[in-house]
Chains A and B, each alone.
Chain A
Amino acid sequence: MRMNFKHTLLLCFAGILLFTSCKKDQIEIPQSNDPIFRADGSMTGGDFSIVAGDNNAYMYTMTCEENGVNVFSGKLSDDEFSIEMGVYDGLLDFINHEALAHIANNVSPTFAHSDDQPIAELNKAWLDDLQNVSQINWYVNSTLVGVNVAYIYEPGIYNVCAMVTFNDNSTIEYCNELIFGYEKHASCSIHSNVNVAGELIASIQGATTQVSEVKWFLDDYPISTDLYLNLPVTPELHRLKAQITFANGVSRTKVAIVDGTLYNRDLSDFSIFEENQVQNPYRDFNVKMSVMRNGKNYYSLPADNSSSMINVTGIEFYGNNTAGNPVYKVSANISVMLQEAVSLKESPLNMSMTFGVEIP
């Protein structure tokens, strides 16, 4: 009897232990956290501190496009003050490139710079050796920018089209994609002519990197993938397009005009314009900044930032923004000159910041 009671006691304790050791349900109790994105520093007008989440400040992240180039951007803004930072894309001539890897590895990026000087010239004379062209209307991204001569002022990828009027009043339009202000990792051009037999002979010339593949199109119809093209053409003006893939992964598209009538109205592609561009520093993965404060806008692009400094102390994935694109948290110490838009007066900005930047 006594043993039975002891057993009962043991069972009670075992039950209590079992009860207390049961797996407990968990409740996700929301926990306050420290601000994620913020900027603290000083500039003309005094010190500032802006925190995403306080005083209606919000960290906007987006990918802007500037002259055909992605600018991975973030803008920390409240009602009265905003700071925007953008990182230009790079390696534009590669089919696929990992911008994130280059941004993350570049702990001291430079500030982009632009001025009012052209970086490239579109000139009829560079295309028309035989003087068969009476006029070329230059269109950049479908906008007429000049007749016979036009200029490009900002780095970017441009769709440049030439509306060509020959001396016999015949016309043709052809377009090339041109990259100005960014580093190119391979170059070449189309060499073509039509012989007396009416055969088109074309090849890729001046390749700085081994060509691995060429796709030929005549008047937008694919005709061949041989490196050397030899085929008869009808007696009229034709657009000869070559999609060239280089061994290093660079891909370019060139378009030239071939004349099947033997009137020598052949026109080369626009590679000459890229080769003759002003050799300003390339803008690949450069940084730009702008500030809006007290109703004034300040920009880093026009300012002299040759001695400015940006030191990236960390970059890590944060999450997706409302657009579903990945956002990276960039921590940096920045010392940069900004130029006020109206007065053109430059003023320094010093700050430490943790910014969100969308990098798709």
Chain B
Amino acid sequence: MSWTDKEIDKLFQKEAAKQTFEYNDAYWKEMEAMLPASKKGDYLWFLTSGIFIALLFVTPFMGVLNEGKSAEVKAMEENSIEPIQIAENSINSNKVVKNSNKINGLDGSLTEIKMNNSKTENHSVDDQNNSQVSENKDATPNHFKKENVTPFVAKQNSTISSVLAIVNEEVITENDQVRVQVESDASLRENASLLNVNKEELFPEAGDVDDLELHDVALLNTRSPLDLQSISYDLSLPWSTSFYVEANAGLGQSLITPSVNNSHYLGAGVGTQFRKGRIVFTTGANFIWSHHKDLQLTRQAKIYGFGSEVVQSHINYSELYRIEANLNVGYSFGRHNLNIGIRPSYLVGTKVKVTQDEGLEGGNRTVYGFTEGINRWGLKPSFGYGFDISRNLTLGVNVSTQVLTSVNEDFINGVNNKFPIDGQIYLRKTLRLRK
């Protein structure tokens, strides 16, 4: 006798319909009680580590992306000492008028543009947007080559048809500087696209200011480095990537309390810096070798047998080895840099000194790699300051605090020191990998 598929299906349905046990909510509660308690805070580490890993892999490719830029752009990036802000906008009727405080009845704020320039070639801009700029014969034509400008001019909305600037004309040449005051309407300014170029590239023959012609661009400068406009301007610039190697040392509060001891550490690592204008993103990894005097794990156990015996083990964590990521964003002004970031870390090893009661294996010895009692994950928000000693050498300090618990209080003698602060000094050498 053979079963048909239908019969087999029916048999399964019939048997499956039989309830073999009664549902009891208490079973679920028991199961729930057996589940390990969820560890809060883990998501934070995973988030930061995810960002770190992503940045670590992405940033080298940014250098690749930058390879497509023109030599002029690269030159401008490297030489953008005094940025000139060029805003693109269009007002059909805008005209650059010398010695006029008001153009076409538009009032606006005054913006200065400084240009260090003295020599200018004949730069012309063939504006695709049919901008009409400076048809005033009094205004000196200021031509840009289209290929120089186009990469930096963000294509604006549909109304873009000309340059924004209402130049409250004041072009002053003074010690190779050209000051152009631009008065623009606030609403127009919002549509302005900013970029940073080197005036030497833009105005190689800018010795004569009258040769300049604002054509589809407005040149803006913000005096405050923290001006949002400036930041957005920085962000609009292309990436530049560099690698670095770093050595650091630090001194921090003890991971446990109460304690009169401090911890200190040495570290070294590599990383990547990539910048957009003045904004510098840093991602790196350091090997941290820290020394501790008060991380002692005491394990006491009552061992039953024919009777019972209370035995103790003392494990002193003298050294910890961590891999610490470095995720920073900074703002540089001149040779100075302020940064803020986070430093997630992972404990990869330890050096412990073990003292055990007689009768236990081991006795007194030194052991590597024992991590019980120390939490592997760490996370430090940090802020710091860096100073460029030279073009490729930076000296800096960081202050950070550990926000994750460092030790397992069930074992370590003491309790976690909440937010122990540590200070770090580092020396970073930037590697110039491309000529």
A residues with a Cβ closer than 8 A to B are: 1-2, 5-6, 8-9, 12, 16, 19-20, 22-37, 51-54, 57-61, 319, 321, 327, 356
Contacts and interface: CB of A to CB of B under 8 A. Distances in A.
A31 B362 CA distance: 15
B306 A52 contact: yes
A37 B307 CA distance: 8
**Shortest beta-carbon contacts, A-B, top 7:** A53-B308, A24-B369, A30-B301, A25-B367, A32-B301, A53-B304, A59-B306
A60 B302 CA distance: 19
Interface in B344-370: 348-349, 352, 354, 356-357, 360-362, 367-370
B349 A37 contact: no
Contact of A19 (B303, B349, B433): B349
A25 B306 contact: no
B432 to A, nearest CB: 9
Interface string B302-320: 1111111001110100000
Interface string B299-342: 11111111110011101000001010000000000000000000
B433 A20 contact: no
B271 to A, nearest CB: 10
B372 A29 contact: yes
Interface of B: 60, 243, 270, 285, 287, 299-308, 311-313, 315, 321, 323, 348-349, 352, 354, 356-357, 360-362, 367-370, 372, 431, 433-434
14 contacts: A5-B243, A12-B285, A22-B368, A24-B368, A27-B354, A27-B367, A30-B312, A35-B308, A36-B305, A52-B304, A52-B306, A53-B306, A319-B305, A321-B306
A27 B304 contact: no
A327 B305 CA distance: 11
B295 to A, nearest CB: 15
Given A25-B368, A27-B367, A30-B313, A16 B306 contact: no
A contact patch SS: loop
Nearest to A2: B433
Contacts of B300: 30
A15 to B, nearest CB: 9
A9 B272 CA distance: 11
Nearest to B366: A25
In this complex, the member of B305, B370, B372 whose beta carbon has the largest number of chain A beta carbons within 10 angstroms is B305
A59 to B, nearest CB: 4
Given A24-B368, A27-B315, A52-B307, A5 B431 contact: yes
Nearest to A327: B306
Contact of B304 (A23, A29, A36): A36
A26 B360 CA distance: 13
Nearest to A54: B308
B289 to A, nearest CB: 12
Contact of B369 (A25, A51, A60, A319): A25
Contacts of A5: 243, 431, 433
Given A5-B243, A6-B60, A33-B301, 15 more contacts: A5-B433, A12-B285, A19-B349, A25-B369, A27-B313, A27-B352, A27-B370, A28-B356, A29-B315, A29-B372, A30-B357, A32-B303, A35-B308, A53-B302, A60-B306
A327 B285 CA distance: 57
B369 A57 contact: no
B299 A33 contact: no
A329 to B, nearest CB: 11
Contacts of B307: 52-53, 57-59
A28 B372 CA distance: 12
A29 B306 contact: no
Contacts of A61: 306
A319 B348 CA distance: 39
Contact of A58 (B306, B321, B356): B306
A30 B311 contact: yes
Contacts of B370: 24-27
A127 to B, nearest CB: 49
A244 B192 CA distance: 121
Contacts of B313: 27, 29-30
B433 A1 contact: yes
Contacts of B367: 25-27
A8 B301 CA distance: 47
A22 B306 contact: no
Contacts of A19: 321, 348-349
Nearest to A20: B348
B369 A29 contact: no
Contacts of B304: 33-37, 51-53
Contacts of B270: 8-9, 12
Given A5-B431, A16-B348, A19-B348, A27 B362 contact: yes
A54 B306 CA distance: 10
